[in-house]
Amino acid sequence: MAQVVVLGTGLPDRVLDEIGVRHTVRTLTRDQLDTAEGRAALAHAEGVVVIGQEPVTEEFLAAAPKLRVVSLRAVGYDRVDLAACRRRGVAVCHTPGVLDGAVADLTALLVVGIARRFGECLDSGRGSWATTGARPALGTDVAGKVLGILGMGRIGRRVARTCAAGFGMEIIYHTRSGPTAEDDAFGASWVTREELFARADFLTIHLPLTPETRHSVGERELAAMKPGAYLVNTARGDVVDERALVAALRSGRLAGAGLDVLSTEPPDPDNPLLHLPNVMVTPHVGSATEETRYAMAELAARNLLNVLAGEEPVARVV
Ligand SMILES: O=CC(=O)O
């Protein structure tokens, strides 16, 4: 029986019980981590389940010297110090695959939402019902428009299918690995990175955050986009240089943006992106459905239990 710390809330009771059959489970909030009780729980922990975006740093690992596994209830692992985990022999696991549909749905919603000025429409619907005048102005059709997908992994592919089959969009995509027959089979075309920015009416980002991708969509890339194009990001805020994005939106170079992720979450209330009428911001809820979060929790538990039992986890990062 090992000590398992669940960092953050939101694991369904059934999943907690499943871990609890074999191990002692202690749930801690971020604030409790800094208490004597939290430090003691971490000092004995052999496994940690991380809910959400809590960073796993060298300092965190030093406070948990018995740790064997960090199991993320998330697919992204940019907030984990992987090198430090490797050095300490701590396995890192995540939850790929099970959230693709939910994130793709939200992405599609943001594409159509910004095209139809949905944020402003909601405000007007709850308020004056003004449909003429300065706001809300007319939206634009998505059918027949070009959707550019930066990063054609599992989620990018789901977005491509939804937007091609459902909305009649033309799909172009860029991955460093080049075209694949699977993607081209449903009418998506691989293009160079330059062509992607130049041709997309809507550009959606599906890249992980790494040192190479940080701010990789910046001033130069945004300036290369079509005047009046739209940007959607449901991946990680820091892939985009937010200052450059704000400038492009303010100047009218970009017509709008749909963002489920920001550089700082929760954002500073003064972040201009929260106040521009042509920007829709959602609070990092790409995977936030009952079914998807349950599947993520189950996979996180399976990964954890496997490592603690000396078996291979289902989805290992390190
Ligand atoms: O952002 C959410 C995740 O990485 O699962």
Of 265, 275, 291, 311, which residue is the catalytic one? 265
Distance (Å) of CA 305 to CA 46, 93, 169, 238: 11, 11, 43, 32
**In this prediction, does ipTM exceed 0.90?**
yes
The CA 14 to ligand 1 mean position distance, Å, reads 22
Q: Same CATH topology for 3-94+290-309 and 99-281? A: yes
- The pTM (predicted TM-score) of the whole model is 0.96
Q: What pLDDT shows up at residue 183?
A: 73
- Structural domain boundaries of the chain? 3-94+290-309, 99-281
Decide: 288 and 5 in contact? Cβ < 8 Å: no
Domain 99-281 has CATH 1.10.10.10: no
Q: Is 206 a catalytic residue?
A: no
Of 236, 242, 293, 302, which residue is the catalytic one? 236
Mean pLDDT confidence for 72-82: 97
The CA 285 to ligand 1 mean position distance, Å, reads 9
Q: What pLDDT shows up at residue 187?
A: 85
- CA–CA dist 91, 88 (Å, integer): 9
Q: Is 284 a catalytic residue?
A: yes
Residue 133 has pLDDT above 70, yes or no: no
- CA–CA dist 84, 61 (Å, integer): 8
User: Could you read off the pLDDT of 218-241 as tens digits, one per residue?
Assistant: 999 999 999 999 999 999 999 999
Determine which residue's CA is closest to atom 5 belonging to ligand 1.
74
User: What CATH fold (topology level) applies to the domain 3-94+290-309?
Assistant: Rossmann fold (3.40.50)
Mean pLDDT confidence for 128-134: 72
Which of 193, 223, 194 has its CA nearest to residue 207?
193
The CA 185 to ligand 1 mean position distance, Å, reads 28
Q: How far is CA 165 from the centre of its chain?
A: 23
Q: pLDDT band at residue 141, thresholds of 50, 70 and 90?
A: very high
Mean pLDDT confidence for 170-184: 89
